[in-house]
Amino acid sequence: MLPTPQWLKECKSEVADLDGWQHWQVRRYYPTMRKDKFYRHRDYAHTFRSKADVKHFLDTGEARGKGLLQKVLICVINFFRHFQISIFIT
């Protein structure tokens, strides 16, 4: 997990609070050394793949190709330390 970028801390939005963002980076080794950045908000079940997508969501409340996003409640239940179930409630 990476710290929240400064540009995201400075955005103003009525759609989502700015404290709930997760930001991480994944390296791809083939064919070139690339670093892909991903963003996710704790209240929405959608992973954003670019800074432009996050800014569009904060301005409009819509994800490109998905339309208007709604908040979800995520319940994670662990059974016997071996099984984990995630339930998304919209």
The total of structural domains in the chain comes to 1
Which DSSP string corresponds to 23-44?
Answer: EEEEEE-SSS-EEEEEEEETTS
* 65 falls within a domain: yes
Domain span including residue 34: 6-89
Partners of 36 in beta bridges: 26
Q: Which helix (H) or strand (E) holds 9?
A: helix 6-9
Peptide bond into 31 cis (omega under 30): yes
* 1 falls within a domain: no
pTM above 0.75, yes or no: no
| Predicted local distance difference test score (pLDDT) of residue 64 | 82
| Predicted local distance difference test score (pLDDT) of residue 39 | 92
pLDDT in tens, the chain (90 residues): 888 888 888 888 888 888 888 889 988 888 778 888 999 988 888 899 999 999 999 998 888 888 888 777 655 555 555 555 555 555
